[in-house]
Each structure stands twice: as C-alpha cells, then as structure tokens.
Amino acid sequence: MRIIMAVLLWMGAGGAWAAPLDTVFANIDGGTIEMSDFRGKPVLVVNTASQCGFTYQYDGLQALYDAYRDRGLVVLAVPSDDFNQELASAEAVKEFCALNFALDLPMADVSRVKGADAHPFYRAVRAETGFVPRWNFNKVLIAPDGAVAGSWGSNVKPRSPKITRQIEAMLP
C-alpha cells in the first residue's frame, strides 16, 4: 500500500515526487492556502479538533504564532474529524475558534489527515517520513527548504522547547 501511495504522489506531482510545500489546502475562510507561498519559512502544521481534550492547545498555537510570526513562522491549523471529535461544519469550527480562542492564525477547511483519503500534505509527509497523525493536535514542522524537520504527538505542547528550539534555529 505504501508503494502505491508513493507512486500516486509521484504521478500527482507531474512526474516529480510531491513534497509537503507542493500541496494546497482549502481555506476555512474560502479560497485556498498555497503551501508553496510559505517556502523559505518554517511552517508548523497541526491537525486540530474542537471537541478534543487537547483543544486547549489552540491557546499555545496562537501564542507560538504571536511570538514568532514577525520573524517568519507560519502556524497552520488543519481541523479534522478523522478521530470523531470535530464539529459538523467548517462554519461551526471557525465560530468555535473565534469565540473561544480568538485565533487569527491560518486555518484550513476540515480535512482528512490519515488513511487513503488523507489530504495530499499528509500523504506527502507520510511518504517522506512514515509519520501519520495518531490523534488530534499532532504537529509537523516543515523547514524553510520544504523538508519535514520534525513531528510530535498530542502530548507535546506547541510551546515545548522540543518545538521552539527547532523553530528558533530556522528563523532570522
């Protein structure tokens, strides 16, 4: 199965291996989020869910974004119902995050993060590293050159030194 997915990624990228920054997310506000726009910047991508015990991490994601965005960090929230803990619609997710966390970081539309129907970003990460989110609030750090620089599970908080040390090393 992994070989089939790798071939599909290769074919979908016009004959070249797809990379995480070669993908596009639907934006929760409409339009798209072109990951290629973030080339040259570190990008922390986090699969989120509104009804999860880790939802409090939205505060940490916003604080991380606030601390480093002026130096180039992008934090992208990717709501997902793959673990049956997301609200019923993108509109409900957006309202929940605005009311409870005052988020202004970029947010994708509700997306799949695992399995055969996973978003191309997550398929590219899996092809490159073998990493697949095992729960909500898993984190993937993309280096400015587009390579996967690290991945962490739900228990690693957004402002953990494990994450911030790597981010700081990538910032001017």
Q: How does DSSP assign the chain, residue by residue?
A: -HHHHHHHHHHHTTSS---GGG-EEEBTTSSEEEGGGGTTS-EEEEEE-TTSTTTTHHHHHHHHHHHHGGGT-EEEEEE--TTS-S-SSHHHHHHHHHHHH---S-BBPS---SSTT--HHHHHHHHHH-----STT-EEEEPTTSSEEEEE-TTS-TT-HHHHHHHHHH--
What's the whole-number mean pLDDT along residues 53-71? Answer: 98
User: What are the φ/ψ torsions at residue 58 (nearest 5 degrees)?
Assistant: -55, -40
Report all structural domains of the chain as residue ranges with CATH numbers, in order of start.
Answer: 2-170 (3.40.30.10)
Does position 14 have pLDDT exceeding 50, yes or no? no
At what angle are helices 161-170 and 57-68 packed, to 10 degrees? Answer: 20
Check residues 106 and 5 and name the one with the higher pLDDT.
106
The pLDDT score that the predictor gives to residue 6 is: 43
Does position 16 have pLDDT exceeding 70, yes or no? no
Does position 2 have pLDDT exceeding 70, yes or no? no
The pLDDT score that the predictor gives to residue 17 is: 52
Does position 5 have pLDDT exceeding 60, yes or no? no
The pLDDT score that the predictor gives to residue 164 is: 98
Work out the pLDDT band at 109, boundaries 50, 70, 90: very high
Strands 139-142 and 43-48, how do they pair? antiparallel
Q: Catalytic residues, which ones?
A: 52
- Count of CB atoms situated within 10 Å of the CB of 102: 10
What is the rounded average pLDDT for all residues in the chain?
Answer: 91
What's the whole-number mean pLDDT along residues 73-99? Answer: 97
Check residues 121 and 14 and name the one with the higher pLDDT.
121
Check residues 89 and 18 and name the one with the higher pLDDT.
89
The pLDDT score that the predictor gives to residue 168 is: 97
Q: Convert the pLDDT of each residue in 114-152 to its tens digit.
A: 999 999 999 999 999 999 999 999 999 999 999 999 999
The pLDDT score that the predictor gives to residue 151 is: 98
Global pTM value? 0.90
